[in-house]
Amino acid sequence: MPLPKPDVSQAKIEVLSLPKMNLGEGPHWNDQTQCLLYVDIYGPSVFIYNPKTDTNTEYNIRSELERLGAKGNRVSVGAVVPICDEPDKLLLATGNHIATLDLKTGGVAFVSEFEDGKAETRFNDGKCDPHGRFWAGTMSIEVYPDVHDKEAGNLYCINSGFAKPQLEVDKIAISNGLAWSRDQRLMYFVDSTPGSVDVFDYNVQSGCISNRQTAVPWDPEKLGSPDGMTIDSLGRLWIASYGGSAVHCCDPTSQDKSPVVSIHLPEVDCITSCCFGGEKLDELYVTSASKDDPLRNAGRLFRITNLDATGNLGVAYSP
């Protein structure tokens, strides 16, 4: 049976008065602090936004990454998540390393290195699964005008204790959005350049994935490229559309699986990702990019309320 269609007729879109981002990504609602984490990939910066106080703390990590030897487009950060029982540290996917950020000192430490021999790749999106494993994927580094090696990227899983990363999916163009079903049996995954939104069978105990299939047929010509995504409490996918000015809500259980609702954001083209946040997890935070977009609100952080939808708690990494 199809999932109910959310009533978004009263949806309210806010453009938050925060600095513009070049390539905003990776929003994660930290339920413990009631703050939003997100990144500007090529800042490279990590942000902590507190909506109660309307304050935004920036950690620019360029000098730290360069100190550790990162060069060129690998001076970047693609994803951020909290670390269980370590409130003063965050886990990052940077360049070709998994790293930690010390919130007291601003210091960065590398914990795992990836793809050292593949100079054309960098980490993009990442997220923790229901068990606390960190999944993060790579993509080919952008070459003007954004031509990518369509098989250079990989998707990795990092188990607890910063264990040796496991290669889970290869020959990816742009590894992007991740989401897990509430029953912990499915994992959804976006590869942006071919415009694929796929689903795997997922074993929460082992972390193994299998049986890759199309979850949502996606037409990039009509919708733009699928980018980051989140899943709501009913199992509907909310998918950011890069070049499509929108977040599309899709029901992967329906027969045609096409978007059931689309939220078009004002004066912005490149929408990069989204996540639910707020005390009731009923606010959708949306990141965007300005690097390919001259419109007024490009690179802004948005908040959408009155969506008739709630999200799920974000998961921290279990060290």
**Catalytic residue set:** 227
DSSP secondary structure string, 22-66? SBEEEEEEETTTTEEEEEETTTTEEEEEETTTTEEEEEE-HHHHH
Helix ranges, the chain (H): 62-67, 220-223
Q: How far is CA 67 from CA 40, 97, 177, in A?
A: 19, 14, 30
Q: How many CA atoms lie within 13 A of 37 on its CB side?
A: 28
Using CA atoms, how far apart are residues 90 and 316, in angstroms rounded to an integer?
Answer: 9
The C-alpha R_g of the chain, in whole angstroms, comes to 18
Using CA atoms, how far apart are residues 63 and 48, in angstroms rounded to an integer?
Answer: 19
